Amino acid sequence: MIEVQNLSFSYGHHPVLSHVGFTAQSGECVGILGNNGAGKSTLITCINRIRTPDSGSVLIDGKAVGNMSRRELARSVAYVAQKNEMSQTTVFDCVLLGRKPYIRWAVGEEDLRLCTAMIHRVGLEALELRSLDELSGGELQKVMLARALVQRPKVLLLDEPTSNLDPRNQYEMMELVREVAREQHITVLIVIHDLNLALRYCDRFFFLKDGSGYRYGGLEVVDQHTIESVYGVCAKVMDVGGRRIVIIE
């Protein structure tokens, strides 16, 4: 479980987040939603201590992230950025880096087994000895997801994980994230712009507006009023074939 309590952050004198707070349970996928510049990416980088909040706290299973050692933090929180650097590292070696928080003297058989299994699960077994700089953007994103998942984190932070993927791969990746979250009881926070993809795969939704939490909850918070207020567009929200969808007018 993760608790974000009154989190605030500023770039110099420019406030970006103001008293943001919410709680998410183990196994839940939470969509972080809002316009560009609302503070979504800043929020998740404050959670994993890439940025230091001005005030507030983040607790994972009751323990403050600010009091964790780097190794403990890496065992608790995994992060997949929106953009990742290419290199000549192989797919397998890149995924193996996700086991670093658990490796002390040498790589063990369990580390190798977990990496091989996750590479197969994301569908990249044919590319495991390929260099990262030979991959497509979508393939690279899958590698970074696999690396994060072999960390066996309690909290997984994803910053627009489907931005470089075609529709089929978007659904496959989101399905995989949701499956693993439930199997391993991981809390997943996903910065995502596609409202309909979020509605299909997320359990709860946190809307940011002008750096503050606007609404948080289940499907009931994804309504016409919220979308029009947060995004400034006219929208219809309806149920089609048992699924809720958003149509921007």
Helix (H, G, I), strand (E, B) or coil at 191: strand
Give the per-residue pLDDT at 156.
Answer: 96
Interatomic CA distance for residues 166 and 182, integer angstroms:
24
Give the per-residue pLDDT at 219.
Answer: 92
**What is the per-residue pLDDT across 120-175, written as a single tens digit (0 to 9) for each?**
998 899 999 888 888 888 888 889 999 999 999 999 999 988 877 888 888 888 99
Q: Which residues pair with 29 in a beta bridge?
A: 188
Question: Which structure tokens are listed for 9?
Answer: 């952050």
Please say if the pLDDT value at position 60 is more than 70: yes
Interatomic CA distance for residues 215 and 209, integer angstroms:
9
For 69, phi then psi, to 5°, come to -70, 165
What pTM, to 2 d.p., does this model score?
0.93
In the chain, the domains with their CATH numbers are: 2-86+152-248 (3.40.50.300)
Asked whether the beta carbons of 137 and 164 are under 8 A apart, the reply is: yes
